[in-house]
C-alpha cells in the first residue's frame, strides 16, 4: 500500500458522534478479535445496551470500561427502545452489543436500528466477528452467492416446510444449530438432500478446540455417532446442484398426472415435477386445473 492509500483509510471522524447508535461486533470466542475501534468506543459512549449485563460486564471489565450498561433483550425491547431513543434525542451516544458476535444476526438489534432510523438518528456499525460469515469463508463451499437461515423454527410444521425449502435452495446455506439438536437436523437433511450433499460444520470457531466437520452429510452423521456434540456449531450446507431434466411440456404433464394417479396430492406432485424439470409449479398447476375443468 502506498502512503496516500494508507492516509486515506486512516481518515476517520472522531467518535462517538452525538445522537448516534453504534452496533458493535464483539468476539465469538477469542477475545483478541475485539477491534481497537470497538474497544475505544465501548470506553467512550454514554451508555451500552446489551443482552446480558453480567456477561457483558465481564467484557467491559477486561477493557477497563466504566460506561454504564442496560439490558436490551427480546423480553424488554419495547420499553427499552423508548428509553434509548430519549437518550439519543438528548445527543447521547449508545452502543449496542450482544452476548457474542454481531447484534442483529440472530441477536436483538433489528427493532432498535429501525426505530433509531425512523427517528432520524444515525446508525453506525463497528464491524466484528460473525459466526455465519466466519464459517462460510472456511467451508470451501461456494461463497459467491449464499443465504442465511439462522436457527430453524421450533414449530414442527413450519420447520418441515423450511427444511424442504433448504433442500431445494441452489445457493450455499448457513444454519445455526444447538448441540442437542444437531444430530436430528443432520438426519432430516440426509433424507431431504441426500447423504452425499456437501456440508461443513464449524465447531467452536476462534476458540481453543475449533474444528471443521464434513465433507458430506453422511460423514458428519458418522462423526457425531462417535463424538457427542459439544460446544457451538455453525452449519454450512452446499446448495442443490442437481441438474434439471430437459423434457417437453407434455412429458412434464404426464409425469405430473402419473404422480397424482399414484396417490400424491396435486400440490406436492406439482412441486416435485417443478423441481425436477424446471417448469414452474404455477404453470404445472394451471395446466392441471384446466384439464380438470374440462
d(CA 284, CA 270): 6
To 10 degrees, what angle do helices 266-277 and 249-261 make? 140
Does position 178 interact with ligand SAM (CB under 6 A)? The reply is: yes
Is the CB of 33 or the CB of 169 nearer to ligand SAM? 33
Least distance in angstroms from the C-beta of 85 to ligand SAM: 23
Least distance in angstroms from the C-beta of 23 to ligand SAM: 11
Please report the DSSP string for 65-113 in residue order: ----EEE--TTTHHHHHHHHHHHHHTT--EEE--SSB-TTSSSS-HHHH
d(CA 213, CA 179): 13
- Among the residue ranges 159-167, 204-212, 248-256, 284-292, the one whose residues contact ligand SAM (CB under 6 A): 204-212
Least distance in angstroms from the C-beta of 87 to ligand SAM: 23
* Size, binding site for ligand SAM by CB under 6 A: 23
85 contact partners, CB below 8 Å, separation of at least 6 = 115, 116, 119, 121
- Among the residue ranges 1-9, 130-138, 221-229, 238-246, the one whose residues contact ligand SAM (CB under 6 A): 130-138
- Among the residue ranges 1-9, 66-74, 226-234, 276-284, the one whose residues contact ligand SAM (CB under 6 A): 226-234
d(CA 60, CA 44): 12
Candidate list 40, 71, 206, 212; residue touching ligand SAM; CB under 6 A: 206
Work out whether the CA dihedral 33, 36, 40, 43 comes out positive or negative: positive
* Ramachandran area for residue 59 (φ above 0: left; ψ -120 to 50: alpha; else beta): alpha
Candidate list 22, 39, 60, 101; residue touching ligand SAM; CB under 6 A: 101
Candidate list 48, 59, 85, 130; residue touching ligand SAM; CB under 6 A: 130
Q: Which residues bind ligand SAM (CB under 6 A)?
A: 28-29, 98, 100-102, 105-107, 130-132, 176-178, 202, 204-207, 232-234
Amino acid at each position: 500500500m502506498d502512503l496516500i492509500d494508507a492516509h486515506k483509510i486512516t481518515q476517520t471522524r472522531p467518535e462517538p458522534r452525538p445522537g448516534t447508535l453504534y452496533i458493535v461486533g464483539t468476539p465469538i470466542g477469542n477475545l483478541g478479535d475485539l477491534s481497537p475501534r470497538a474497544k475505544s468506543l465501548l470506553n467512550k459512549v454514554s451508555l451500552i445496551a446489551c443482552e446480558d449485563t453480567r456477561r457483558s460486564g465481564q467484557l467491559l471489565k477486561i477493557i477497563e470500561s466504566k460506561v454504564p450498561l442496560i439490558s436490551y433483550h427480546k423480553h424488554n425491547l419495547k420499553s427499552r427502545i423508548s428509553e434509548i431513543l430519549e437518550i439519543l434525542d438528548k445527543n447521547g451516544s449508545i452502543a449496542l452489543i450482544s452476548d457474542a458476535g454481531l447484534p442483529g444476526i440472530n441477536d436483538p438489534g433489528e427493532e432498535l436500528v429501525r426505530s433509531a432510523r425512523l427517528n432520524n438518528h444515525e446508525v453506525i456499525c463497528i464491524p466484528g466477528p460473525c459466526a455465519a460469515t466466519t464459517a462460510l469463508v472456511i467451508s470451501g463451499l461456494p461463497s459467491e452467492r449464499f443465504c442465511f437461515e439462522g436457527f430453524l423454527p421450533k414449530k414442527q410444521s413450519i420447520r418441515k416446510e423450511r427444511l424442504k425449502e433448504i433442500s431445494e435452495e441452489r445457493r450455499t446455506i448457513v444454519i445455526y444449530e444447538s448441540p442437542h439438536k444437531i444430530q436430528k437436523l443432520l438426519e432430516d437433511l440426509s433424507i431431504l438432500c441426500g447423504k452425499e450433499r456437501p456440508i461443513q460444520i464449524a465447531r467452536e470457531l476462534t476458540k481453543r478446540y475449533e474444528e471443521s466437520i464434513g465433507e458430506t452429510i453422511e460423514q458428519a452423521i458418522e462423526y457425531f455417532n462417535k463424538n457427542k456434540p459439544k460446544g457451538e456449531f455453525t452449519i454450512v450446507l452446499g446448495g442443490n446442484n442437481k441438474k434439471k431434466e430437459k423434457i417437453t411440456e407434455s412429458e412434464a404433464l404426464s409425469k405430473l398426472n402419473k404422480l397424482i394417479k399414484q396417490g400424491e396430492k396435486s400440490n406436492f406432485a406439482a412441486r416435485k415435477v417443478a423441481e425436477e424439470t424446471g417448469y414452474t409449479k404455477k404453470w404445472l398447476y394451471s395446466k392441471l386445473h384446466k384439464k380438470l375443468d374440462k
